[in-house]
Amino acid sequence: MFEEAGLKLDAATLRPWANWVTPQDQPKRFDTYFYLACPVSGAEPRHQTTEASSSLWMPVRGILDAEVAGTLKLMPPTLALLDELLALGTVEAILGEDRDIVPVRPKPGALEEFFRQRRQAPSVAPELP
């Protein structure tokens, strides 16, 4: 995709953030790494995936609010990572965070409990600028 657009990815700008591995009781399994990067000024999202129906930029608080309202469905890794970003409060704090990437391996049945607890007490952290 980068080659087609005549772009080059500077891997040094990618910040490793997390690694999640699906519980063994799930029918679809993954071992996924998550990265962060600051978008280049003026960057616009362009939808090029079959895994989502739309693409757009939103503040973290807006994403979490949309999930609580039921207008956006997110998986547990995404929700947990957004909560972490929200708790750090600023882009500078996020990018300055010293992280050891330790795989998150939820126990079988843990995803249902995650969603149950989330519905009872959604995140209330302040919005990132």
Provide the whole-model pTM.
Answer: 0.72
DSSP string, 67-86: HHHTSS---HHHHHHHHHHH
Q: Which residues contact 80 (CB under 8 A, 6 or more apart)?
A: 104, 114
Structure tokens at 28: 């679809």
Q: What is the mean pLDDT of the chain?
A: 78
Instruction: Work out the average pLDDT over 3-19.
Output: 77
Q: pLDDT for 72-108, tens place per residue? A: 888 888 888 898 898 898 888 988 888 899 898 887 7
pLDDT of residue 60 exceeding 60, the answer is yes
